[in-house]
A = this chain, B = another copy of it.
Amino acid sequence: MNARPRHAIVEAIAPSQVQPGCAACHFDELNWCRAALGGQCGQTSIEPASIEQASHIVPARRIICRAQDLHDAVPIICRGWAASVVTLSDGSRQILSFLLPGDLVSTALLFESRSHCLVEAITEVQFRTFKRSGLKATLFKNPDLFEKLAQAWIEEKNRADQFIIDLGRRTADERIARLILNLSERLARRGMMPEPTTSSVVEMDFPLRQHHIADATGLTPVHVSKVLSEFRRNGLIKISDRTLTVLDPAGFHRVAHTR
């Protein structure tokens, strides 16, 4: 029961179907996804079947993983955008992080089975799940892999810390500008930014609704709209058709970093 059939798979994914995000996927670096996809495993041989559990595709707005649920599977985003969300008793929501292709939903899930927050698809999302037990075993056999996981964990924590600073000490304009720039940097690192069109103008996929921005920045959707309008009026950015263009990168960075 170790060699052949991978059945729990919801939608079959051909081994050759590597997503754009895979290029920068931590787990691709770790040879896990690639191994699970049937590619060569590098020096360390890992049996894919013992680790990969399933691959899923969910439509936008669907829940990927519920808060408080117990899972013995660890999900990794392969395609699309998602968000970790907490809902307060009064109905207001806070997005803790946006998940892009290549992201582990939460590194904490490697060591505990209970998710602390809801994970929600923003676009259509494809993700794979891996068996925690198999993943952990592999980790302990490979200090190199482990070291890379630690880096991912540290990065997750750094993003959280930056987020705290943004929410605690920055104005609405700064928060929104920084959110956009952070996302664009993360996309760029994954090789997911469209080719630069004209000099210095940055263009990116931007599937977020304004209420997502509001939930992430601790603002109201109304105010987000006003700030974005102001950005547009000042020729800093342009949004149309789920694509965001930074027309004046220098000026936009000034808004974002400023203070």
Contact = CB atoms under 8 A, between A and B. Distances in A.
Contact of A111 (B117, B154, B163): B154
Interface in A139-178: 140, 143, 147, 150-151, 153-154, 156-158, 160-161, 163-165, 167-169
A90 interface: yes
B154 A157 contact: no
B164 A111 contact: no
A86 B165 contact: yes
A164 B165 contact: no
Interface residues of A, number: 35
A1 interface: no
Give the oligomeric copy count. Answer: 2
Nearest to A158: B116
A202 interface: no
A127 to B, nearest CB: 21
Contacts of A117: 161
Interface string A97-118: 0000000000010111000110
Nearest to A149: B111
Nearest to A257: B89
Contact of A143 (B88, B112, B140): B140
A90 B171 CA distance: 13
Residue of A116, A143, A165 with highest tally of chain B CB at under 10 A:
A165
A89 B160 contact: no
Interface of A: 86, 88-90, 92-94, 96, 108, 110-112, 116-117, 140, 143, 147, 150-151, 153-154, 156-158, 160-161, 163-165, 167-169, 217-218, 259
